[in-house]
């Protein structure tokens, strides 16, 4: 291949330009994943510098400004003299500058395992963006240093526990700010190193914080909001996966599509419900399994040596019950439209709630997610530190130029996270119920017990997979209790009501891991069930091609046939034979086929006999977490799911 034929290098995504007003959730997700760089708006930097200059002038007036010329919290009534130097203190720092430095080092007291690097990247980005609004009094050089940390991928080490979510995420944001002043640790190429050493290798000097910069850096909802945004991104993908799983289950059950009727959902027009129903209609469109006539679906029957001709490799048998003429009276109208044979699919026009109500349940999750997204979008371009600087204030009209207030309180985002915390177990629970139905011979509409042929009586199939799903759902339910209802006052009761939003965020992200696992288990079981259903239907087609006698051998309840009904029976069997020949085209919808093929390409083979399932489970979960199934299905559909 010559130079002219070489494939062009993939373009690097354009940098995210931050100006304090237009940061999107998707941009945060892109930066958090390390795919996009950041630049700062020149116009926004002018606002920042104007605010810093204004604050410097206010300081010269000698007015008490919370956190600038006063202490914090309990010490808010202590006025500081900018010119005074304390004996034994760093001679290079005024008391006001020393205040900002000590604020950061004294508040960086989190414990536990470090937050994920992706989450801390998001926190850095959010902090830069809110400070760019120009109401925090920080200098341009400080914002540039935060941007440099992102650009160099020197990500501060932030232990996970320590925020009560009221004066913002004080403790974790203090850990975030330590790197700016050369304290604490950062991740450099994935390794924890002292921040001062990493800065030196990058040719950077630690900054000395000015005026209220310490307070601006550690006062805000950065950890809560970053957690919410990462959760939104993950849950939006998992809700799509849940729709795909539900469609796979609907096909495996040979379920009914009436509950997806567009007219039904127009009468209860919750947006999420409509979206979920639309997705499910797309996913089962073209299916030869959904709405299949009842009599075409035989019931699994254990294999026996005489079940099939000697060359047949099937490890299962199939059966129908014949409905004699004398027993048809109660369903006379039904049997005018359907052949008088009962297989595995129950003769009823509606499926269980976990299938029939999937649009309503999945839709409610979607509506909750939309509400939390709305909260996050507002918060993302808001100012959440304290006090706030209003350089444009009209002092002659009595407007305050520096206002101490409470935008740092995390309750808006905390309650949004609480909603997600309650929604996640709901989605996991309905998925587990579908999984449980598939492995249970009493409810799986003619599929084998635990989805295994078990011809020798030695196989457990997918029985224990349901145990794991049940354990995960129970664990999720136990974590769903809201932390937001348990406020514990802090700062000697000066901060007497807190949000506990950081706890909610940490719980939600951990819960999403288990939701992904439940959906992975459902995917594993649903694709096994779908392939088994296809094998059973293909066996029915092969049986019809063998002849009437072979088909007759699979019928039960023939003992009730009297001499007068023999002719009717013979005619009915021929009708069944002719009808079963139509099963040659009984295939899943294109979306279902794409999902099944993706699972098989990942190395998860059909389970004919028991084997160690751990590798299959890990692969199925990885497919869910990577989004590979959603991508394969959307490619098959030629459009994105809602």
- Give the integer Cα–Cα distance in Å for 115 and 415: 21
- Give the integer Cα–Cα distance in Å for 222 and 170: 9
Helix (H) or strand (E) holding 433: helix 411-439
Helix (H) or strand (E) holding 212: none
Helix (H) or strand (E) holding 393: none
H runs (alpha helix) in 159-294: 170-178, 195-201, 213-218, 222-252, 262-266, 271-284
Rg of the chain in Å (alpha carbons): 32
| 481 three-state secondary structure | coil
- Give the integer Cα–Cα distance in Å for 462 and 330: 38
Query: Are 511 and 504 within 8 A, CB to CB?
Result: no
| 349 three-state secondary structure | coil
Q: Which residues contact 56 (CB under 8 A, 6 or more apart)?
A: 211
Q: Which residues contact 208 (CB under 8 A, 6 or more apart)?
A: 92, 93, 97, 101, 181
- Give the integer Cα–Cα distance in Å for 243 and 240: 5
As separate numbers, helices (DSSP H) first and strands (DSSP E) second, the chain gives: 22, 13
**Nearest-CA neighbor of 27 among 377, 36, 509, 116?**
36
Helix (H) or strand (E) holding 440: none
Task: Give the pairing type, strands 299-301 and 402-403.
Answer: unpaired
The active-site residue, picked from 66, 467, 486, 541, is: 66
66 annotated active-site: yes
**Nearest-CA neighbor of 409 among 226, 174, 229, 170?**
170
Distances, alpha carbon 57 to alpha carbons 62, 228, 399, in Å: 9, 38, 16
Cite the active site residues: 66
């Amino acid at each position: 291949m010559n130079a002219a034929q070489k494939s062009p290098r993939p373009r690097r995504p354009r940098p995210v330009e931050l100006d304090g007003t237009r940061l999107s959730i998707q941009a945060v997700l892109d930066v958090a994943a390390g795919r996009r760089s950041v630049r700062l708006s020149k116009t926004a930097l002018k606002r920042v510098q104007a605010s810093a200059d204004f604050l410097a002038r206010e300081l010269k007036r000698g007015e008490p400004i919370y956190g600038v010329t006063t202490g914090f919290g309990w010490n808010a009534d202590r006025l500081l003299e900018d010119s005074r130097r304390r004996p034994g203190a760093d001679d290079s720092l005024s008391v006001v500058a020393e205040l900002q430095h000590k604020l950061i080092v004294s508040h960086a007291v989190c414990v536990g395992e470090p937050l994920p690097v992706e989450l801390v990247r998001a926190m850095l980005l959010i902090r830069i963006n809110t400070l760019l609004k120009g109401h925090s009094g920080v200098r341009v050089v400080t914002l540039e240093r935060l941007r440099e940390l992102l650009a160099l991928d020197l990500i501060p080490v932030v232990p996970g526990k320590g925020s009560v979510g009221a004066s913002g995420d004080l403790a974790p944001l203090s850990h975030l700010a330590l790197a700016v002043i050369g304290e604490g640790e950062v991740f450099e190429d994935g390794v924890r190193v002292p921040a001062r050493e990493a800065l030196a290798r990058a040719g950077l000097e630690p900054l000395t914080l000015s005026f209220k910069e310490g307070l601006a850096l550690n006062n805000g909802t950065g950890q809560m909001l970053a957690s919410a945004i990462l959760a939104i991104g993950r849950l939006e993908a998992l809700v799509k996966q849940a729709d795909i799983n539900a469609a796979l289950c609907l096909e495996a059950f040979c379920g009914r599509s009436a509950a997806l009727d567009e007219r039904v959902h127009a009468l209860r027009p919750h947006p999420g419900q409509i979206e979920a129903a639309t997705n499910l209609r797309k996913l089962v469109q073209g299916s030869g399994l959904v709405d299949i006539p009842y009599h075409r679906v035989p019931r699994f029957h254990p294999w026996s040596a005489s079940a099939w001709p000697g060359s047949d490799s099937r490890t299962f048998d199939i059966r129908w019950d014949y409905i004699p003429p004398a027993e048809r009276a109660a369903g006379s109208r039904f049997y005018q439209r359907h052949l008088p044979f009962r297989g595995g699919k129950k003769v009823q026009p509606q499926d269980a709630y976990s299938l029939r109500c999937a649009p309503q349940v999945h839709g409610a999750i979607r509506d909750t997610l939309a509400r939390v997204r709305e909260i996050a979008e507002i918060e993302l371009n808001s100012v959440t530190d304290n006090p706030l600087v209003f350089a444009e204030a009209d002092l002659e009209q009595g407007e305050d130029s520096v206002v101490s207030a409470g935008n740092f309180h995390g309750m808006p985002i905390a309650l949004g996270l609480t909603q997600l915390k309650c929604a996640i177990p709901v989605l996991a629970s309905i998925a587990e119920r579908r999984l449980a139905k598939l492995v249970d011979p009493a409810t799986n509409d003619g599929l084998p017990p635990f989805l295994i042929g078990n011809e020798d009586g030695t196989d457990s199939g997918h029985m224990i997979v349901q145990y794991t799903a049940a354990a995960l759902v129970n664990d999720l339910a136990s974590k769903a209790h809201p932390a937001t209802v348990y406020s514990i006052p802090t700062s000697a009761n000066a901060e007497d009501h807190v949000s506990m939003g950081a706890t909610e965020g940490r719980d939600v992200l951990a819960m999403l891991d288990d939701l992904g696992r439940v959906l992975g288990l459902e995917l594993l079981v649903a694709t096994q069930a779908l392939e088994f259903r296809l094998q059973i239907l293909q066996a029915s087609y092969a049986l019809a091609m063998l002849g009437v006698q072979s088909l007759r051998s699979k019928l039960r309840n023939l003992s009730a046939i009297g001499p007068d009904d023999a002719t009717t029976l013979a005619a009915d069997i021929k009708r069944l034979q002719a009808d079963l020949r139509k099963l040659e085209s009984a295939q899943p919808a294109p979306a279902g086929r794409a999902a099944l093929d993706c699972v098989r390409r990942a190395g998860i083979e059909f389970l004919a006999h028991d084997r160690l399932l751990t590798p299959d489970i890990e692969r199925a979960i990885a497919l869910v977490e990577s989004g590979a199934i959603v991508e394969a299905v959307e490619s098959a559909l030629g459009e994105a799911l809602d």
